[in-house]
Structures are given as structure tokens and as C-alpha cells.
Structure 1
Amino acid sequence: MSKVLIFGGTTEGRLLTQKLCAAGHEVTLSCATEYGRELVQEGPKVSVLAQRLDARQMEHLMRQGFEFVCDTTHPYAREVSKNIRQAAAAAALPYLRLLRSEDARGEAFSPEELKRIHEEPDAQAAARWLKKTQGPIFLTTGSKDLPSFSDPELIARIWLRILPMRDSLETALSLGFLQPQIIAMQGPFSQEVNEALFHHARAKFLVTKDSGDVGGYGAKLQAALTSGMEVVVLKRPQEEGYQWQELLAFFHSFSI
């Protein structure tokens, strides 16, 4: 059996930890926050580290007897993935990137609905697009992108949904978002929950990342289009790596 280091407090990171542990591998899951640690049960073959690491610290950790490095971080965490990849190369360890599957529901949307989906390359471009519009905005891209939407004219229009974490709330409040504008909830959410929140906010626009089915993107997109909203999607970075079943098959070959 192998000693595996997994980076990512995502759903996939937690599921992969469980799968590999059940197969007999020794797993360490490295996530950035204590909140991520709380979602994983440690045991004889599972340990969890909750700390933000730079590339040098990642490399030092990797040299502690690990045989494989798995990157299950969020598909938009480009800088983190870059650091993990560079650290793995420096430590001479295999780097295995888990790709998040895309949601297939877009194929079922009508031409009129597809016209209401606008793809932008990044948060700054999305903010510029929104400044040309009017009406309430429902923002779901996460606390790290909030500075891009901190223009006072935009803040006055935004309902913000973020994770219920202290640093996320502090970031939002420090940028000028008011408490009544902030919804702190842990997803993913069903279409019905999304529709209820959009209705409560009287939102005309949804801003989201393409986080795939695991991240609830399909249900969120369907809810927005059903509610007659315009949707601004931050383009997902292109990556190479393993699909879920491919990665499980890779480790299965070491369990035989």
C-alpha cells in the first residue's frame, strides 16, 4: 500500500481520502482551513493538516515519506495548483491532478436560455460587465474574488453568498459589504433552495463559477434560468489530469 498526500478541502478531496483509506492506503489530507479539518474524520490511516502552505512548505511536507501527491483543490485555485505541481517536481514525486467533471445540463437549455448565459474570463471582467447593467446581483464566486466586486456602486446591488467561515465574513465586511447583504451557508444547494434565495434577493443577475455538478453548478444555473435571471460565469481554467474513475483505477493497481 502507498503513502499518499492529498491537497484540497473540497468534496472530492474528502471522498478520495475515504476511498484510499478504505483500500488500505495511508493518507494525509492537507487543507487550508480549520473548517476543512472539521469535515474529515481522522483515524489510524487518515491524518489532516489545516494550514495554508507556500511552495517551499509543500515541498518540505512532501519529503516526509510520501509516494504520491494528489491535487484535488478547486478548479479555480490556479496559484495553489501551480505551487503543488512545482513542489512535487522538486520533491521528485508523481503529481496527480483530479479534474472536476463538468455539468451536462447545459445541453438541455433552450437557445433563448443560452443567450442569458455570459462567460467572462475572470472576476474583473465580470465586474466590468455588471457595471453596464442595473438590478440586484447574487454573487457566489467566493470570498477570494470579492475585491473585484468592491466598487461601491456594485456593492450596493450585491447579495453575497459565502462559506460560513470567520475569515470569509471578515473579508466581506472589511470591503464594505453589510451584514444584511451576506448569506453565509455551506453548499452545494438544490435548485429549490437556490430559487428561494434568488427570489428573496429579487436578483436579476447570478455571478458564479463553473464548479461542476459536485459544486452544485447545474442546480444553480437551472434555478437562475428558471427564475428569468441573466447568468455571468467565470471561465474555468483548462487543465490536464485524471477523471475520478481514472484516478481510482490508478490507485487500485497499487492495492492488488
Structure 2
Amino acid sequence: MKIFLLGGTKDSINIIEFIKNNYDAHILTTTTTEYGAKLAQEGGSDDTIARPLLKDEIKEIIINENFDVLIDATHPFAAHITQTSASIAKELEIPFIRFERPTTNLENIDTSHIHYVNSFDEAGKLIGENFHQGNVLHFAGANTMEEILKYVPVERFYPRILKVESSIEKCKSLNVDPTHIIPMKGAASIEENLDLIEKYNAKVMITKESGDIGGVIEKIEAANEKNVAVIMIQRPKIDELNKNDIVSNLDELDIKLKNFF
């Protein structure tokens, strides 16, 4: 079984390990960064591609190398690549699986500090208009900083990012003070988030609704304890997705693969 895996998330590493342990499979994992590719290799991926791919490039690789299935395990907010992968699978008539981590269960969590928005532009406007005290912790990735900084003074802005060249360059281009950059290595614990809030005198925290694996609960709990506002960007809705193609855990993935093969 030859699997083309769109990765770059912790979910994708779990998928690689699961498939390699349970199937006779060759996996090619594509990520947008060298760091993501390194983690995929360590997880057991047979091959990796460490750069963004155009739609035609993905199609060409799938056709030329006779891949049997396309799995999209990209981030819930990578709407464009999910739209693209769904349309590729349809065009090529190849089995397609979208691995979508469940949304965060906030049933027993105090949500009084959360302000829900639908975009980063909306988040920036909300902060610019309503939150004028203290600093802003940005826990939503380097590629989303620009929209926030249209409305928030860079002097108040503290991004937690992967210290990879592309992210550092993005910070430089936006005049983010290097001393404001918080290096990221996986999801932070409640204690780590509390430390960051105190250290940087934060009154606002920006996060995506990225699921439990993205550390959302730990961010909310820390924010509640320190009376910090949480600006939460809700997941984009992707019309191209067929709900029958979506799985949300490894057991469901296993059933899909067994059905296909």
C-alpha cells in the first residue's frame, strides 16, 4: 500500500507510526518545513518532501508513483490545502481520507474569558478596539501575525513560534523585537503558560481552536487563573469536504483503510 500523506502536524506523526506498525505500507509525507519533515522521518515515514507543493505537483507525484490513497492530516486551519487535496482525490478518483482532530470539549471549562472570532483580521480589530492594557501573547503561528499587527502595536506583541528560518524572517519583516520572540517546542503546559503570562505581563492571548492536541485547554486554564482574555479563532468550514471522508481518531482511520484495501 502506497500512501501520500499531507502532514506537518502531531496527528500526522501518530498516523505514520500507526500505519507502519499495522500495515505493509510505503509512506511519502509532505510538510511545509524541514522541521516537519525531520519529525516525519523520525516517526517512520519512508520519504519526505519539505516544501509547499502546488496542486499540479501533488497530482503528478500521485500519478507517476502510483499512490493508492491520499491522506490529509494537515492543521484544521490549513483550509486551502484541504480544499486542494479533496479536489485532487476527486479528479484522480483515488481513495481520500481527511484526518480531522476533534474540536476541544469545553463542557467543564470556565469559558467566560473567551472571545470567539472567525478570522485573524477580526481578532486584531477586537484587540485594537477593546484591549489597551498589557501585552498580547500570540499562540497562533508566524503566518498569522501580520493580520494582528495591523491593529496591535508591535511593542505589545509577543509571538510564540517555531524558531525556524522562515518564522524568524517573518518576525524581522514585521519589526517584531527579537527579545519578544518565544521559542516553541510542542504544546505548553498550564504552568508554562502561567509563566509566560507573568513574564511578559500579558492581558490578552490569541489562539486557534486547534483541538486538545494543540494545548487549547492548557491555554484557557492559565488565562482563567490570571484573568487574561482569550481571543479564539474558530475553525474554517470547508465546503469541499464530504463528511464521509473525515475520520477523527486512529480507530476510524483503521476502519477506512481496511475498507479501501
* TM-score with structure 2 setting the length: 0.90
Q: Does the C-alpha gap of structure 1 residues 249 and 165 become closer, same or farther in structure 2, counting only changes over 3 Å?
A: same
In structure 1, what residue type is equivalent to 2:256? F
| Structure 2 equivalent of residue 77 of structure 1 | 78
Alignment of 1:56-95 (within 5 A): 56-63=56-63, 64-95=65-96
| Structure 2 equivalent of residue 27 of structure 1 | 27
1:97 aligns with 2:98: yes
* Matching residue within 237, 247, 253 for 2:253: 247
Aligned-pair distance for 1:94?
A: 1.6
Aligned-pair distance for 1:254?
A: 6.0
Distance of 2:50 and 2:138 partners within structure 1 = 27
Distance of 1:91 and 1:46 partners within structure 2 = 23
Distance of 1:175 and 1:90 partners within structure 2 = 39
Secondary structure at the aligned position of 1:199 is classed as: helix
Secondary structure at the aligned position of 1:207 is classed as: strand
Distance of 1:154 and 1:69 partners within structure 2 = 42
Q: Does the C-alpha gap of structure 1 residues 57 and 201 become closer, same or farther in structure 2, counting only changes over 3 Å?
A: same
- 1:68-116 residue CA offsets vs partner (Å, 9 max, x unmatched): 1000000000111112122222222122101111222x21134xxx232
Alignment of 1:1-256 (within 5 A): 2-23=1-22, 24-41=24-41, 46-63=46-63, 64-104=65-105, 106-110=106-110, 114-132=111-129, 133-135=131-133, 136-151=135-150, 153-238=152-237, 240=243, 241-244=246-249, 245-253=251-259
- 1:202-244 residue CA offsets vs partner (Å, 9 max, x unmatched): 1001110011111111111111111111110001123531111
Which range moves more in the overlay, 221-230 or 84-93?
84-93
In structure 2, what residue type is equivalent to 1:36? G
Which range moves more in the overlay, 147-156 or 29-38?
147-156
Identity of aligned residues (%): 25
Secondary structure at the aligned position of 2:192 is classed as: helix
- Say if 1:141 and 1:208, in contact at 8 Å, map to a contact too: yes
- 1:7-64 residue CA offsets vs partner (Å, 9 max, x unmatched): 0110111110111112222211111111111113369972222121011111111112
Distance of 2:116 and 2:42 partners within structure 1 = 40
Secondary structure at the aligned position of 1:119 is classed as: strand
In structure 1, what residue type is equivalent to 2:38? E
Distance of 2:203 and 2:43 partners within structure 1 = 46
Secondary structure at the aligned position of 2:60 is classed as: helix
5+ residue gaps in structure 1? none
In structure 1, what residue type is equivalent to 2:207? T
Secondary structure at the aligned position of 1:109 is classed as: coil
Which range moves more in the overlay, 132-141 or 39-48?
39-48
Aligned CA RMSD, in angstroms, stands at 1.8
Distance of 2:181 and 2:45 partners within structure 1 = 38
Distance of 2:191 and 2:255 partners within structure 1 = 35
Distance of 1:139 and 1:192 partners within structure 2 = 17
Secondary structure at the aligned position of 1:204 is classed as: strand
Q: Alignment length, in residue pairs?
A: 250
Aligned-pair distance for 1:152?
A: 7.2
Distance of 1:20 and 1:37 partners within structure 2 = 17
- 1:129-158 residue CA offsets vs partner (Å, 9 max, x unmatched): 000121211111111111102237521211
Q: Does the C-alpha gap of structure 1 residues 43 and 169 become closer, same or farther in structure 2, counting only changes over 3 Å?
A: closer
Distance of 1:248 and 1:232 partners within structure 2 = 35
